[in-house]
Copies of this chain bind each other. A is one copy, B any other.
Amino acid sequence: MKIAVVGIGLIGGSMALVLKAQGFASVVLGVDSNESHAAKALAGNLVDAVTDLAGAVANSDVVILSAPVNVCTDLLPRVLDLVDRQVVLDTGSTKMSLLDAVKGHAKRGRYVATHPMWGTEFSGPEAATLQAFKGRANVICNAEESDEDALALVKELYGTLGMYPVYMDGYNHDVHVAYISHISHITSFALANTVLEKEKEEDAIFELASAGFESTVRLAKSSPAMWMPIFRQNKENILDVLNEHISQLRKFKSCIEKENWTYLTELMEHANKIRQVLDRKS
């Protein structure tokens, strides 16, 4: 099967690697507006050739859109214009903007909206890895709007990556990811800025930063070029969660200010319940 990957970074590059290694893809064509990324992808054997968008669509069976979400929202209708038999999927962290962009498009059925729940704080083709995706959920949104054969092929593709499908409508997807992914990134970015702002002694950060700090602040290394468009597209849901999070932090602050140690303990005991959720996964 011939695959086109549009946006050859962490996600697109890892897909290319795994699908080739698993024999799902015979040829991978790469498209990237960043020439340095395209060159690295070619040099690193993530793709067999680099081409333009029209050439990639014409010469492939599956088109994977794995550019930043704003770029995908622009590209998706144009790609569907070019499609006849091909299947198109995207891997973005927001879904409503994409679904809205192709609502009523004559080729809507050829598109399957997906979100593989995997990532790292690294980006670009050099971050691509064969260790990606496995054992994680892949969300498929508004599956009923896709052609049966397109859906079947996309399920097979994600099965090859070792992912299991979760079905959800785009609206609910965008609400849930605000809680389960987007807010974690905002808190990490803000925590990094908090420490960088007040802790002028960089050596002290370096010497003392323990594993706990590293794990909460790790996502602050993430790419602004990828995340700004996500925050933009999921604005309303993210503001909801951010308001709730600030209000939860204010509860901790108020307990400490008022020395209400009993209520502070209760807040922490409540937070401990997240254990039940996380431990089901491991």
The answer for the CA separation of A157 and B140 in the assembled complex, in Å, is 55
Report the stretch among A13-21, A71-79, A202-210 that lies at the interface: A202-210
Given A208-B166, A244-B198: A272 and B137 within 8 A (CB)?
no
Given A119-B212, A212-B184: A190 and B278 within 8 A (CB)?
no
- Give the distance to chain B from A269, nearest Cβ to Cβ, in Å: 5
The reply to whether B277 and A210 contact each other, CB–CB distance below 8 Å, is no
Given A212-B185, A271-B220: A244 and B194 within 8 A (CB)?
yes
Please give the count of copies of this chain that the complex contains: 2
Contacts of A267 in B (CB 8 A): 189, 193
Majority DSSP secondary structure for residues of A touching B: helix
The answer for the CA separation of A227 and B243 in the assembled complex, in Å, is 25
In A156-177, which residues have CB < 8 Å from any B CB?
A: 166, 172, 176-177
Given A119-B210, A180-B209, A217-B274: A228 and B191 within 8 A (CB)?
no
Q: Assign chain A's interface to a size class.
A: 35 or more
The answer for the CA separation of A176 and B204 in the assembled complex, in Å, is 7
Contacts of A212 in B (CB 8 A): 119, 121, 181, 184-185, 218-219
- Give the distance to chain B from A201, nearest Cβ to Cβ, in Å: 8
A residues with a Cβ closer than 8 A to B are 117-121, 136-137, 139, 166, 172, 176-177, 179-181, 183-199, 201-202, 204-222, 224-225, 227-228, 231-232, 235, 238-246, 248-253, 256-257, 259, 261, 264-265, 267-275, 277-278, 280-281
Q: List 30 A-B contacts (CB under 8 A).
A: A117-B209, A118-B210, A118-B211, A120-B211, A136-B210, A176-B204, A179-B205, A180-B195, A180-B209, A181-B212, A181-B213, A184-B213, A191-B248, A192-B272, A192-B273, A193-B270, A197-B248, A206-B277, A212-B218, A216-B218, A220-B272, A224-B268, A227-B268, A228-B268, A231-B264, A239-B256, A242-B253, A242-B256, A246-B253, A249-B249
